[in-house]
Each structure stands twice: as structure tokens, then as C-alpha cells.
Structure 1
Amino acid sequence: MKITVLTLFPEFFDSFRSTSIIARALAKQEIEFETVDYRLFTKDKHNHVDDTPCGGGAGMVLMVQPIADALKSVRTENSYVVLLTPQGTPFKQQMAHTYAGYDHLILICGHYEGFDERIRSLVDAEVSIGDYVLTGGEIGAMAISDAVFRLCTGVIREASHEDDSFENGLLEYPQYTRPIDYEGQQVPEVLLSGHHANIRKWRLKESLRKTYLRRPELLKDRVFTKEEKVLFDEILAEIDKK
């Protein structure tokens, strides 16, 4: 699986590709990652990639030509192109799974005041990482690349992400490690019992509890299993007692 990022600041990604899990996966050639500086494709004699907005207004707007030509240089029939923009569809875990199934993902990072509207016609999707505005799309591209790469075969063990938050529509259950007692705070006894069925049930219940307390909207349209319904009723009864 390959990700290409079109950006004005390729150096922004130096630490991303040289650190921890991503660095190891790249070294083992389990994934591919490249950056393309679309300033190199400008035909402007002053090397500009932006211009003042038509109709007036503050800031500078990215021009179509440099981005279009940079995209043409890397796009293939197997490429899926995503524009990073606050106006895009919010990025979700299921989208990360979908993107991880592509052969080639291209991410376009905007900058300055915005980009020429005609750039939208060049892409397959527009994606946002949140309801806020950054100085550029690089942080968003890095976040999406990380979320996608960790789902690719060989990058991390599948068991390491299959219980992650959002994988099954719930937040992840609480995790503990040694020491068993830290300043009076104890690891729950069930996790020390060695009883796998009870541990699984506890984790499911605590995932439901955490989701209900922190992200209740995730449960709005959930079709509960019989076990989940029993556990959720227990949670509500426990909360009512407090």
C-alpha cells in the first residue's frame, strides 16, 4: 500500500517517516510513503503557487495548475485522491479501513487562505480531521496516513488494533499494567483472575460504560446483542444508584 502526499512542505514529514512503527514498516517495505512538492510544478516565472483571490479578499489562494500537474505526475488508474479541507467529510475509523484497502492513496494538502475551487474537480473525496482550521493540510495528511498504515498487513499485529476504540462502534475498555496497586488504586480483580470468559465480559461491559458516559451518540443507532443489552441495563442501574 502506498501513500503519496502533495505538499508545499515535504520536510514536515521527515520525523513521520523516520520514527517508530512507520519507520520499521517502511524499512521492511510493508508500506510505501512519498511526498511531492507541488511548487516544483509551477509555471510561474517567480515560482509562485498562489495568487490573490478573484473578487478581492484577504490572503492568497492556491492556483490550479501546480497541483493539477503534480497530481498528473503521480496518479495512476489505481489511485484514490483525497483533498484535505475543513469542508470535507469527517475522517472516521471505517474510512481508514477503506483507504487501507487501496493500492495507492494520494493526499493533497492545502495552505494559505485556501485553494482554487476547480481543484475539487480533480479529486475523488474531500476529508476533514475535525471542525477547526489549521495553517495547512499536513497535520491532517499525517494523521490519516498513520491511521491507514497501522491497518496494513504486517505493520502491527491485527490483534493489537481489533479492540481499538471505534473498531466495533464502542470506545476501548480500560487497560492496566503493573504495579497492581499504585497509591491505593487497584487493578480490577477480574483482570488478575485468569478467567478469560469473565475478562471478556468485563471488557465489553466497560466499553459500553465508557462509550455511554463519554460518547453516547455512538450508541444512538446501535443494535445491541442480547449480552450487550443485559450489560447495558446493569450499567444504567449502577449509574442510577449513584
Structure 2
Amino acid sequence: MRVALAQIITGRDPAGNLALVAEYAGRARAGGAQLVVFPEATMRAFGNSLLDVAEPLDGPWASRVRAIASEQDIVIVAGMFTPGTADGGGAPGKVRNTLLVTGRGVDTSYDKIHLFDAFGFEESDTVDAGSEPVVFELGGVTFGLAACYDVRFPDLFTENADRGAEVNIVCASWGSGPGKAEQWKLLARARAADSTTLVLACGQGDPASLGIVPRGAAPTGIGHSVVVSPFGEVLEELDGAPGLLFAELDPAVVKEARAKLPVLANRHKF
């Protein structure tokens, strides 16, 4: 199966970000991909208000993503924001950090479980955590979903594998800083080895690559989207700039890895 990772840099305008989804989905399909992964916060970049753009999964932004997926005959995974809990007066108080998956008969979503309360940023101030892992099937291959900070927590990846995942998708808007690119790649490689899955880790590109200076502590991306083998080997990688990364997925590689290194079968659950 041919897949693509769309390392884009989103901004404040959801309509402009939808235009990027349409452009990169078209390029991915033209390159033969059956699935294209976009980053976390595709709907609107972090560092901006989220409440005023949050909408249900049947709202206009998500519906347009579905239309793009249908037009291109491709599965799209993209980060958006959906309504969370209301405040005491009944008005929306928080959002959920959601991955929408749509196209080719697939329609599901995942709410980020582990919120990024680290490195001076408090995602839980504005976002409600999800609670349930999600996997989906495409062309006989099972995919698990994760978002950004989730990559620091191995149990989600092994749980996805227990639910049948041969590939784990990570959509991120990684925070910049000393050593953060190295951590990102290390964690993607570790989670692949933990779960003996292929890992597709797609991040927001680095705004600095376009001469944009991020404001505040919001995690706005560093690039370095990677495809990792079940043995933790980086197979493909982008730099910090926007780009489209293609990869060929072979589930037989996962079966081979699990035969040689049966960590899922050998582990003890405490």
C-alpha cells in the first residue's frame, strides 16, 4: 500500500488550511497514495483560539474534508477540534483535539488521550482528553491512531497493536526547543519497536523554514516527519520545510518482525 505524509504548516484561517488539505490530497493521489496523513491542528494552528472553530464531526469543515477525500478517492487523516465539555453556564468551555479519518468507506475519529501539559504549555487548560484507543482498517491493513504527546506513552501503541494494528499513525504539532527533534525521532522509533508496528509520524512543518517566528510557547511544529520500520529503523524522513513524503507499506514486514521479535507475545501485563 502506498501512503503519503503531508507535512504542512497551518495558520489561523480554517478555510486556508482546507485549501492545503485539498492541494496535498490531490498531490498524494496523483503520486499513487491510497491514504494521506496530515498533522495535528490541521484545522487551525496552535497559538490561536480553538473554541471559535471547534465543530462537530458532521460540521462544515469536516464535511469539506470528506468531500475532498471522496473527490480524490483517498483516505485522509487530519487533525481538527471538536466541541468538549461546557462551562458552568452551559456555554462551550473546552474542545477535543480530534483526528478525523475519512474516505474510501472509512469514517471514524480519535480524541487525543494524553494532553501536552509540559515544557511550559498547558493543553488541558483548553482541551478535554479522550479515553478510547481507535483503530481502522483499509485494504486489509489495520491502522492505529495517536496524536503528538501520545507518542511518549508506549501503552497506547501496544494497545493499538493488541487491537490488530500493523501500522500506527502519529499526527503531531511538535513543540520546538533544544533536543526536541531528536526526541521526536527517538520516540517514533521506540514506539515502532515497542509495538512491532510500522509508524507513520506526520508533524507540522517548522514555521522558521518559511521565515515565520512563532509566538509564545504554543507547539507549532518542527517538521521531520518520519516513516519507521517495526524494528525502529527510519525508512523515510523529511527536514523542517513543508513537503510530501511517500512510503510503501508491506504488512509482511510486520509479520516478519513479530516472528523474530515477539515482544507483544512475551510481555507481562502488571
Per the normalisation by structure 1, the TM-score is 0.29
Per the normalisation by structure 2, the TM-score is 0.27
Structure (1/2) with the larger strand percentage:
2
